[in-house]
């Protein structure tokens, strides 16, 4: 495969090889921090090895054709846009294409045909070749990812529904200009399509049967079948160019190899935990850490104080083991210890024996106040808040809106210092309750979109009986409210997320 030179690029991802395994390409990331020299520094770099000219490096994210001759590179700069280039690795010639803004992700499967034709989705289905640009309008819902066969005859892409269409997998015949639905499901997205080099078999993920599973179908519409039945679902999957083998990660982050013709499955790697994106935390507040492979089962705390370990899984913050509400294969809910201050190293400890298990650690900020309301799960409003009606009878929602003048109970994290700090892992007191030291003020924009209306805050502090959550009781104005009232609050410290919408009966 050739030799790789060292560079400052790290966080390697998306390795691809050509069909005979002689050429490999992968992408590295390097975040430049501070200084004017960062303005034009590419955030991504692609390394290619095994070409007739040896190895090379190109700025941007890279995707390789199955023939190993062509390389798509894009997204090199911090400036918004697609900025695609198609490189001929045999001749060394580069074909610069105009900038585009992708609507969805560049496909996880093969996106570069053997002749250098590239497919991706922005506002249209877009085909780039070294000499032409073809844009095909799409009339179906919200398109996701697209892939292409080796001969640049067939494109397969996913649609996430909307506009009267179901979540589905589509096939587009390039020469004929024909678009048709290959598979559609009424109750779940279908996504991450793969297409064989000969354009005969499609593999994709869908959650129509519950947890996401792998499905396959012929491009003639025949033999639609579910090929995995993992209780924890499938998080990532890839298919060989000949369509005979699939590799996939289960929800426990176990790696499997499947023969798609016979259905035979072999585990190739045990559970290998991974954590999601880092996030800031506030002392005393409870947070949900996402990832994969934390455990094989789900566990929940049964009493107070909350335990420092569940199912053999624990979380430490600056070396102090944090109280844990629950552990699941993809999520850990924990409380940040109250004495955490300014910065924090968060580390997850699991029972994994995988030799590939990484060190599950991230460095983050931990300001004393990082106010944020909890969202209303399933809310139609992107910033809908978790609010409870005055008499505690139900959650406020579009189907059961708040009334003008009503008292509401809101919940969140990081509202700031309190006058009575409970021990880690123990419920907040109720009589008297722990109140925020700094006063919190709130307002809403009236239905006329001009008037700022004061919202009285009747209580702000720790939610009695809960660990790591704050409660705020407010009284809505009696009039001039819109159906989706935007609440804005200020308190101690960072208030950037101290806002959101509440469904209200207009008056």
Q: What's residue 334's pLDDT?
A: 98
Q: What is the CA radius of gyration of the chain?
A: 26
Give residue 121's pLDDT band: very low, low, confident or very high (50, 70, 90).
Answer: confident
The mean predicted confidence, pLDDT, of the chain is 88
pTM (two decimals): 0.70
Minimum mean pLDDT among 107-111, 119-123, 238-242, 281-285: which range? Answer: 119-123
Q: What is the pLDDT of residues 341-364, one digit of tens each?
A: 889 999 999 988 776 666 788 889
Bigger pLDDT: 107 vs 411: 411
Percent with pLDDT over 70 in the chain: 90
Q: Is the pLDDT of residue 394 over 80?
A: yes
Q: What's residue 99's pLDDT?
A: 65
**Angle at CA 106, nearest 5°, toward 104 and 107?**
105
**Angle at CA 314, nearest 5°, toward 330 and 286?**
70
Q: What's residue 223's pLDDT?
A: 92
Q: What's residue 2's pLDDT?
A: 46
> For residue 273, which of 256, 248, 300, 296 has the smallest C-alpha distance?
296
Q: What's residue 383's pLDDT?
A: 53
> Would the CA dihedral through 216, 187, 163, 165 be positive or negative?
positive
Interatomic CA distance for residues 106 and 324, integer angstroms: 37
Q: What are phi and psi of 70, to 5 degrees?
A: -110, 145
Q: Is the pLDDT of residue 487 over 80?
A: yes
Q: Is the pLDDT of residue 141 over 70?
A: no
Q: Is the pLDDT of residue 39 over 60?
A: no
Interatomic CA distance for residues 90 and 95, integer angstroms: 13
Bigger pLDDT: 155 vs 76: 155
Q: What's residue 31's pLDDT?
A: 62
Q: What is the pLDDT of residues 473-483, one digit of tens each?
A: 999 999 999 88
Structural domains in the chain, CATH included, are 1-98 (no CATH), 102-269 (2.120.10.30), 274-367 (2.60.40.10), 371-503 (no CATH)
**Residues 97-117, mean pLDDT to the nearest whole number:** 79
Minimum mean pLDDT among 172-176, 269-273, 452-456: which range? Answer: 269-273
**Residues 277-282, mean pLDDT to the nearest whole number:** 91
Minimum mean pLDDT among 52-56, 103-107, 265-269, 298-302: which range? Answer: 103-107
For every residue of 434-478, DSSP letters joined together read: PBBSS--EEEEE-TTSS-EEEE-EEEEEE-BT-SS-EEEEEE--S
Largest CA distance in the chain: 78
Bigger pLDDT: 189 vs 82: 189
For residues 176-210, b (16+ Cβ closer than 10 Å) or e, as one string?
eeebeebbebeebbbbbbbbbbebebbbbbbbbee
**Angle at CA 40, nearest 5°, toward 35 and 46?**
120
Bigger pLDDT: 420 vs 139: 420
For every residue of 193-241, DSSP letters joined together read: EEE-TTS-EEEEEE-TTSS-EEEEEETTS---EE----TT-EEEEEE-T
Q: Is the pLDDT of residue 378 over 60?
A: no
Give residue 379's pLDDT band: very low, low, confident or very high (50, 70, 90).
Answer: very low
Give residue 457's pLDDT band: very low, low, confident or very high (50, 70, 90).
Answer: very high
Q: What is the pLDDT of residues 291-311, one digit of tens each?
A: 888 888 899 999 999 999 999
Task: Label residue 345 exposed, middle or buried (CB < 10 Å: 0-12, 13-18, 19+).
Answer: middle
Q: What's residue 29's pLDDT?
A: 82
Q: What is the 3-state secondary structure (H, E, C) of 230-249?
A: CCCCEEEEEECCCCCEEEEE
Q: What's residue 102's pLDDT?
A: 55
Q: What's residue 337's pLDDT?
A: 97
**Residues 365-389, mean pLDDT to the nearest whole number:** 80
**Residues 402-431, mean pLDDT to the nearest whole number:** 96
**Angle at CA 471, nearest 5°, toward 468 and 477?**
160
Q: What is the pLDDT of residues 188-202, one digit of tens each?
A: 888 999 999 999 999
């Amino acid at each position: 495969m050739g030799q790789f030179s060292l560079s400052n690029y790290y966080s390697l991802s998306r390795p691809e090889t050509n069909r005979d395994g002689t050429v490999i390409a992968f992408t590295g990331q390097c975040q430049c921090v501070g200084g004017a020299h960062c303005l034009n520094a590419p955030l991504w770099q692609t390394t290619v090895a095994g070409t007739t000219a040896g190895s090379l490096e190109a700025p941007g994210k890279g995707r390789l054709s199955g023939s190993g001759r062509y390389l798509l590179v894009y997204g090199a700069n911090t400036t918004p846009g697609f900025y695609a280039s198609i490189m001929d690795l045999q001749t060394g010639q580069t074909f610069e294409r105009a900038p585009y803004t992708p609507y969805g992700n560049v496909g996880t499967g093969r996106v570069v045909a053997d002749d250098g034709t590239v497919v991706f989705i922005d506002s249209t289905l877009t085909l780039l070749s070294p000499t032409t640009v073809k844009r095909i309008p799409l009339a179906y819902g919200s398109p996701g990812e697209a892939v292409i066969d080796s001969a640049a005859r067939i494109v397969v892409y996913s649609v996430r529904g909307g506009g009267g269409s179901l979540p589905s997998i589509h096939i587009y015949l390039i020469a004929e200009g024909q678009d048709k639905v290959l598979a559609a499901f009424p109750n779940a997205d279908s996504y991450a399509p793969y297409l064989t080099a000969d354009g005969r078999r499609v593999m994709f993920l869908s959650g129509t049967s519950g947890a996401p599973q792998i499905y396959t179908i012929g491009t003639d519409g025949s033999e639609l079948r579910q090929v995995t039945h993992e209780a924890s679902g499938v998080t990532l999957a890839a298919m060989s160019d000949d369509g005979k083998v699939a590799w996939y990660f289960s929800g426990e982050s176990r790696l499997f190899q499947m023969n798609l013709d016979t259905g035979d499955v072999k585990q190739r790697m045990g559970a290998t935990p991974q954590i999601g994106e880092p996030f800031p935390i506030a002392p005393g507040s409870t947070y949900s850490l996402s990832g994969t492979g934390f455990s094989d089962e789900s566990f929940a705390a049964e009493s107070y104080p909350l335990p420092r370990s569940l199912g053999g899984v624990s979380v430490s913050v600056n070396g102090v083991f944090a109280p844990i509400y629950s552990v699941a294969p993809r999520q850990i809910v924990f409380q940040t210890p109250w004495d955490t201050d300014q910065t924090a190293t968060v580390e997850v400890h699991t029972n994994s024996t995988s030799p590939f298990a990484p060190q599950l650690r991230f460095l983050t900020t931990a300001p004393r106040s990082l106010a944020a309301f909890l969202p209303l799960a399933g809310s139609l409003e992107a910033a809908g808040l978790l609010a409870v009606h005055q008499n505690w009878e139900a959650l406020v929602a579009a189907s059961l809106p708040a009334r003008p003048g009503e008292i509401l109970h809101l919940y969140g994290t990081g509202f700031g210092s309190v006058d009575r700090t409970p021990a880690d892992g123990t419920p907040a007191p109720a009589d008297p309750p722990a109140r925020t030291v700094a006063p919190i003020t709130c307002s809403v924009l009236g239905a006329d979109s001009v008037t700022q209306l004061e919202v009285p805050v009747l209580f702000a502090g720790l939610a009695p009986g809960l660990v790591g959550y704050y409660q705020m009781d407010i009284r809505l104005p009696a009039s001039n409210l819109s159906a989706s009232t935007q609440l804005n609050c200020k308190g101690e410290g960072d208030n950037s997320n101290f806002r959101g919408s509440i469904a209200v009966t207009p008056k």
